[in-house]
Chains A and B, each alone.
Chain A
Amino acid sequence: MGDVTKHIRRKKILGNFPFVIVFTSMTLALFVLGVFTFILVHAGQLSQFLEESIEVHVILNKEISESQRAYIETQLNAQPFVLRKDQNVMIKYVSENDAKKDFIKSYGEDFMTVLDENPLHSSFILKLKPEYLHKKSLADIALKISKWDQVKEVYYLEDLADQITKNIRLLTIIFVSFSIVLLIITILLINNTIKLALYSQRFLIRSMQLVGATQFFIQKPFLARAFSQGLISGATASLLLAGVYYYILGMFPDFQALNTPYLPHVIGTLILFGGLLGLFSSLIVINKYLKMSLDELY
């Protein structure tokens, strides 16, 4: 009897509906949306960062004299396509010795123990202005320089620039479609959960309607719960986003060069958007079902 009383005494609270399913789906939707927004607002910087890492290597002949080398450097300095940052021309000379050191550093083996002479060539590494980072102009530049005297060859990572632009567009399409699908799933889940909650609380709601509770009074607890659930989902998605962001930074320290000032903005927007998503989807659903007679729910 004691148990029965205890069971009966557990009051039904209006507006209570299952948390986990809606929470999970909403968090996932918001997380994907957050990643997408984050990438989008930083897309300019990301492509700039990647574009700036495109380098053109001008490999020089072995038998080049110092004066010839100086001449090539002056020629390169005068080229309009070479990137200039803070009055400095972005050209770097790598001597045979530097190249050897870099090689040993990268591969950990000293080929000089096997070979008699250093097989590596000296080179210039250029960075280009963004407007020249297209397939055609890169090819033109490479062709032009490769014809110079004492230049052995010119190479660069082909197509990288075009690929970046294309990939950002593709990424946008994938993320937007994925977010839309997840948002629809979230709204459908909210719809079903609230429908079930309304059904299980139909006597309470019926009582409220009969004594003269206003529609808003009945809606309020559902809306409050959906709103707070949305906020919590938004906050969780933000935590996940920040976690992933810092994890990637840890894994790839190069990304630290990326200036990402909008992380707090994205997080704030996500939390707010989560709240509003919960609020409006539940408002639509509850309005739909309260217009029905509650017996019609099933």
Chain B
Amino acid sequence: MQFSSEPVVSIQDASIFQDEKTVLANISFSIKKGEFVYVIGRTGSGKSSLLKTLYADLEYPKGTVNVAGFDIPRIKRSEIPYLRRKIGIIFQDFQLLEDRTIAENLYFVLKATGWKNSSEIKQRITDVLIQVGLGFSSGKMPHQLSGGEQQRVVVARALLNEPQLLIADEPTGNLDPEVAESILQLFLDINKSGTAILMATHNYDFLKRHPARVLRIEDDKIIDSHSSSFI
């Protein structure tokens, strides 16, 4: 598969804030299409703030932050939904809706993002569920699925609008090592089909078994494994 050289994420001399406090200062990195990138760092180091900034869920950053063609520091409120449709978000506080089935959870997302044709909607739901290995679970309620299966549905939900980039914050945090490994495998498969992945994790086993580029957050700076200063 051929990828254009234009990056999905491009950050130059940017500072990121949360509650008016500087979390990361003067950071620079970019992510190409189809790239797999881990973000690591201690709890509270600013991983989540970085990821949230990328989908415009935090105060606007300073500097150059470009995501999927959107200029984040100058993005208009009305443009944010269209930015998010180009990104798949897998986040701790973004759980499945417990009051509806898996198919209804996915249907809800498609309706909310402007899908109208019901046969296209059905087809898309079937496609993503097959992609995450849950082809026969569409009628189940979230509580009827295991933790790993629920996480697969969350990934399926993020894939619905064929995003250029998947942003995942601790996607395997609550899962046992075997299930966590299978979820990581799912991310690797999705990545192979051309979607860039930015994953914050504490699971260093992943880094050993599936080496990829690593952004390490330390003292409000980012150390990139692609640059010479990474140890």
Contacts and interface: CB of A to CB of B under 8 A. Distances in A.
A214 B78 contact: yes
A213 B104 CA distance: 16
B78 A211 contact: no
Nearest to A218: B112
B204 interface: no
A204 interface: yes
Given A8-B141, A206-B93, A207-B94, A215 B99 contact: no
B40 interface: no
A12 interface: yes
A211 B128 CA distance: 15
Interface in A198-236: 203-204, 206-215, 217
B209 interface: no
B177 interface: no
B94 A212 contact: no
For A9, A204, A212, A213, the residue with the greatest tally of chain B CB atoms inside 10 Å of its CB is A212
Contacts of B94: 206-207, 210
Contact of B81 (A8, A203, A206, A214): A214
Contacts of A217: 112, 114
B210 interface: no
A213 B143 contact: no
Contacts of B95: 203
A211 B109 contact: yes
A8 B89 contact: no
B77 interface: yes
B97 A212 contact: no
A11 interface: yes
A206 B55 CA distance: 13
Contact of A208 (B100, B104, B112, B157): B112
B230 interface: no
Given A8-B141, A217-B112, A211 B98 contact: no
Contact of A212 (B91, B143, B161): B161
Nearest to B158: A211
- Interface size class on chain A is 20 to 34
B99 A211 contact: no
Majority SS of interface residues in chain A?
helix
B99 A10 contact: yes
B22 interface: no
A207 B82 contact: no
A93 B84 CA distance: 89
A108 B78 CA distance: 81
A25 B83 CA distance: 41
Contacts of A215: 77-78, 81
Interface in B15-69: 55, 57
B100 A11 contact: yes
A212 B81 contact: yes
B83 A212 contact: yes
Contacts of B143: 8
Contacts of B84: 209-212
B113 interface: yes
For A203, A211, A291, the residue with the greatest tally of chain B CB atoms inside 10 Å of its CB is A211
Given A210-B91, A212-B83, A291-B77, 14 more contacts: A8-B98, A8-B99, A8-B143, A9-B99, A11-B100, A11-B104, A211-B85, A211-B160, A211-B161, A212-B80, A212-B81, A212-B84, A212-B113, A213-B81
Interface of B: 55, 57, 77-78, 80-85, 89, 91, 93-95, 97-100, 104, 108-109, 112-114, 141, 143, 157, 160-161
28 contacts: A8-B98, A9-B141, A203-B97, A206-B93, A206-B94, A207-B94, A207-B108, A209-B81, A209-B84, A210-B55, A210-B57, A210-B84, A210-B89, A210-B94, A211-B109, A211-B112, A211-B157, A212-B80, A212-B81, A212-B82, A212-B112, A212-B113, A212-B161, A213-B113, A215-B77, A215-B78, A217-B114, A291-B77
| A-B residue pairs, 8 tightest by C-beta | A212-B84, A213-B112, A212-B85, A212-B81, A211-B109, A214-B81, A208-B112, A11-B99
